[in-house]
Amino acid sequence: MKAGVVHCRCSKCYSVPARKRVRKRTPGLSLLSLPEEIVLYVLQCLSAEDLLSVRAVHSQLRDVVDNHSSVWARVSFRDTWPSPSTLWLFERAAEKGNFEAAVKLGIAYLYNEGPLLSDEGRADVCGRKASHFFSLAESLRSPTADPFIWVFIRPPWSPTGSCCKAVVFDRLKAECDDNVVGKRGPLLHCLARVLQLFEDERRSDAVSLLEESSQAGCLQSSYLLWEHRRKAAMADPGRFLQCVRTLRDYAGKGCWEAQLSLAKVCISGNPLGLEAKACSDLVSQLFTSSSPASPHAAQNILRRGIKDTMRYILVDWLVEVTTMKDFSSLTLHVTVSCVDRYLALRSVPKARLQLLGIACMVVCTRYISKEILTIREAVWLTDNTYKYEDLVRMMGEVVSVLWGRIRNPSLLDYGEVLLALVPLERRSSHLFSYICELSLLYSALASPPPARLACAALLLTRALHHHAPLWPTLLADHTGFSKEDLVPLCVLLYVNCFSQDVPKDHRHVCLTGVKQRFEDENFQQISREKVMDFKELCQILEVPEVEPQVELQVEPPSPAGQPTDLHTFLASPSSTSKRRRDDSMQTHRGSFVATPTAELSNQEETLLGEILDWSLDTSCSGYEGDQEETSMTSINLQPLSSADQRLENCRAQSSDEDSFCEADGKVKDDQGQENLTFSTDLHSSGYSSVQSVSPSSSSSLMPCTFQTLSSSPGSSNQPGFRLLVPMQRPRGSKQVKRKNVAAHSGGEVEEERSANAGFLSL
């Protein structure tokens, strides 16, 4: 622009810039800008690894995490186990009140699984650490909760050398002598429960410990003392009356065992002198206040990816293990209850579902039975699909998730009360037990309250055996349930338990473990009894006949010819009983393999086609391989190295299998090769090989590794298809069927806190 030139004010020569509106930016919303209460709530929902990451973001978050113990008390250690790198994190959380961290640390130190300690003085160091965290975990629970840490230190103890369990016992006893007021009662109860399992003079000291624990306020110890003094008080009417009054006080305080015992006492003789109406109201209160073990358990399990058929196979396998080991029905019911409660809270991969089941059974046998299922034997029952440390860690997961509550309401407990009220003949009582165990197989029957389910099972039993009247007035008054209230659940029981559509595994083998269990002479072969048809049952129940619909169905194979995700899960143990096979199996042999863990290549299919005709008839399916009279798995026999032997000796100092280790050995033939013993059952089903010989028996088993094919050299632990190599077994060996001598015993009931007022008002 030249100087002195005047321009006009047209839009071409002169323009005023438009005024822009500047919007004020709102301040960004971040975690730091939230109220501290909300920040604490968010942090409490994180896992331990995520909490450490958030702590490193900002100094303000670091101060919040470090200054509030509630964050550490509620942080999650899901699928995390103590290791040298995370040991400080677990210990810090446990000292701040984290129950899960305390339980896992106690189990890790007890079994020396996780922390790496030197060989010198290992039992003493691990015992002192384990006792500290076990005591801490027990103090974090409710004062009315049943103590649980005695389950891990109970006999058998190591007969040779130092035993970590004995060190824990001595340390807990020394802690009780220090007069720790808040912990004294539960710890003394645990010590007494341990001494009760010994056969020597130590057993006599249990009563004195129970008395001290009762004086310290432990309700469970008070009830155990009542049971101990009951027999002596029955001879004197005055003492027995005072004994019943004491039982009523314990029932009013919320002890469900006392409530069950009080109901049985009132049914048998009414020593309190109550009116008939008051006595029936007391018992009916016990039934009507029953709540489901885990509300909406079936829906939660399905939502977490566990299908009905998967759960059916797992429970069927647990039934076979129970039969083989001669465990009681109560052990089976409590085990299934622990599995359902865990699955309702945590999701489990299908490959680890069998591990969950056997871990729950290991814990429950320690709690209920005098004869336990050892960890090494449990690993052997899974066909070595899992390792020793896998089972130990799963035990820690189960106990921590369930907050140490092992026993839960069982329909066997209510069944004892019902049978005391209206006794049945022996065959009818076996039918009642048979229906109760069949109900464990179905997820749909896990949702109703156990008291209601027990009444429906009794109604079905009386209907099938033509008892009249079908539901007497005595039962209606003492249970609070009328016949009309129980008919829908009774029909559901019949449709599920006596349906002909029994689930089958991938080899078309029917899963009938409960039926085979009750074919024993001890149960008068009640499972072979012909059951009336549905139309006749509806006529007896006086309900309109409707078409029965089975709740559980097996998924059909996928259209592409490959097994569905269900088939990768299907596997069950071989029992010593024969199984039924479908007649049409011969036409479908080409669609199944012994272990369908991966898709087959063309070369593998060609190789498999040459041996498939005899492989299906002589194979036993498992998660990782089959073992039968003709072995179908590539087996690599490897003797234990010196490092493995040191690891086994290390575990032997604290494990339950110390008293059984001396029986283990190696049997070699003239060529120096080990002889392997496999099951001869050609009709097995379930998870893995369950034989009539256990690792704790006189016959020894050589440890062997099952190698799988994988895409990379470092992925040998991943499942894959194995080359099937036949290994003939020496002729002449026979399997001996174990007779089931399991006795049916009672369980437990859990009451609502509000229901306890009825016992106090009597």
Asked if pLDDT for residue 209 goes beyond 90, the answer is yes
pLDDT above 70 coverage of the chain, percent? 65
Count the helix, strand and coil residues of the chain and give each as a percent rounded to the nearest 5.
50, 0, 45
Average the pLDDT over each of 88-102, 434-448, 707-721, 747-761 and give the range with the smallest value: 707-721
So what's the pLDDT on residue 610?
47
So what's the pLDDT on residue 34?
85
Asked if pLDDT for residue 147 goes beyond 90, the answer is yes
Asked if pLDDT for residue 303 goes beyond 70, the answer is no
For residue 361, which of 427, 440, 479 has the smallest C-alpha distance? 440
So what's the pLDDT on residue 744?
38
| CA dist 690 → 135, 346, 707 (Å) | 37, 28, 21
Where residue 732 falls among pLDDT bands split at 50, 70, 90?
Answer: very low
Calculate helix-pair angle for 122-139, 184-195, nearest 10 degrees: 130
Write the pLDDT tens digit of every residue in 459-494: 999 999 999 999 999 999 999 999 999 999 999 999
Q: What is the DSSP letter of 422?
A: S
Q: Does domain 409-550 have CATH number 1.10.150.20?
A: no
User: Would you state the structure tokens that stand for residue 531, as one six-digit string?
Assistant: 């059951």
Mean pLDDT of all residues in 124-148: 92
Task: Give the number of other Cβ atoms within 10 Å of residue 63's Cβ.
Answer: 11
Mean pLDDT of all residues in 330-337: 96
Q: How far is CA 366 from the centre of its chain?
A: 12
Write the pLDDT tens digit of every residue in 685-730: 455 445 444 454 443 344 443 333 333 443 444 433 333 333 444 4
Asked if pLDDT for residue 153 goes beyond 60, the answer is yes
Which residues share a beta bridge with 47?
Answer: 76
Where residue 25 falls among pLDDT bands split at 50, 70, 90?
Answer: low
Task: Give the number of other Cβ atoms within 10 Å of residue 350's Cβ.
Answer: 15
So what's the pLDDT on residue 510?
84
Mean pLDDT of all residues in 17-44: 76
Q: What is the DSSP letter of 568?
A: T
So what's the pLDDT on residue 536?
93
Asked if pLDDT for residue 340 goes beyond 50, the answer is yes
So what's the pLDDT on residue 409?
79
**Total-model pTM:** 0.73
Asked if pLDDT for residue 589 goes beyond 70, the answer is no
User: Would you state the structure tokens that stand for residue 297, as one six-digit string?
Assistant: 């358990």
**Highest-scoring range by mean pLDDT, 178-192, 220-234, 621-635, 666-680:** 220-234
User: Would you state the structure tokens that stand for residue 650, as one six-digit string?
Assistant: 């290390």
Q: Does domain 291-408 have CATH number 1.10.10.10?
A: no
So what's the pLDDT on residue 718?
41
So what's the pLDDT on residue 276?
83
Which residues share a beta bridge with 504?
Answer: 510
So what's the pLDDT on residue 27?
65
User: Would you state the structure tokens that stand for residue 159, as one six-digit string?
Assistant: 């007969």
Phi, psi values for residue 636, rounded to 5°: -115, 110
- Taking the alpha carbons at both ends of the chain, their separation in whole angstroms is 110
Average the pLDDT over each of 7-11, 163-167, 751-755 and give the range with the smallest value: 751-755
Write the pLDDT tens digit of every residue in 362-392: 999 999 988 899 999 999 999 999 999 999 9
Asked if pLDDT for residue 12 goes beyond 80, the answer is no
Write the pLDDT tens digit of every residue in 481-539: 999 999 999 999 999 999 878 888 777 888 889 999 999 999 999 999 999 999 999 99
Pinpoint the alpha helices (H) of 294-352: 297-303, 308-325, 329-345
Where residue 29 falls among pLDDT bands split at 50, 70, 90?
Answer: confident
Asked if pLDDT for residue 586 goes beyond 50, the answer is no
Where residue 737 falls among pLDDT bands split at 50, 70, 90?
Answer: very low
So what's the pLDDT on residue 268?
83
For residue 393, which of 90, 161, 667 has the smallest C-alpha distance? 90
What is the location of CATH 1.10.472.10 in the chain? Answer: 291-408, 409-550
User: Would you state the structure tokens that stand for residue 635, as one six-digit string?
Assistant: 């087996």
Q: Round to whole Å and give the CA distance between 135 and 339.
A: 26
Where residue 35 falls among pLDDT bands split at 50, 70, 90?
Answer: confident
Asked if pLDDT for residue 432 goes beyond 80, the answer is yes
Where residue 3 falls among pLDDT bands split at 50, 70, 90?
Answer: low
Task: Give the number of other Cβ atoms within 10 Å of residue 598's Cβ.
Answer: 19
Where residue 566 falls among pLDDT bands split at 50, 70, 90?
Answer: very low
Calculate helix-pair angle for 184-195, 164-177, nearest 10 degrees: 140
Phi, psi values for residue 295, rounded to 5°: -55, 140
Q: Round to whole Å and give the CA distance between 405 and 420.
A: 27
For residue 105, which of 133, 79, 139 has the smallest C-alpha distance? 133
Average the pLDDT over each of 91-100, 190-199, 355-364, 600-609 and give the range with the smallest value: 600-609
Mean residue pLDDT of the chain comes to 75
Higher confidence at residue 702 or residue 278?
278
Q: Round to whole Å and give the CA distance between 182 and 216.
A: 9
Higher confidence at residue 150 or residue 599?
150
For residue 661, which of 88, 325, 158, 1 has the smallest C-alpha distance? 158
Full 3-state SS string of 655-673: CCCHHHHHHCCCCECCCCC
Residue 547 CB partners (closer than 8 Å, separation 6+): none
Task: Give the number of other Cβ atoms within 10 Å of residue 538's Cβ.
Answer: 17
Higher confidence at residue 689 or residue 415?
415
- Contact (Cβ atoms closer than 8 angstroms) between residue 457 and residue 479: no
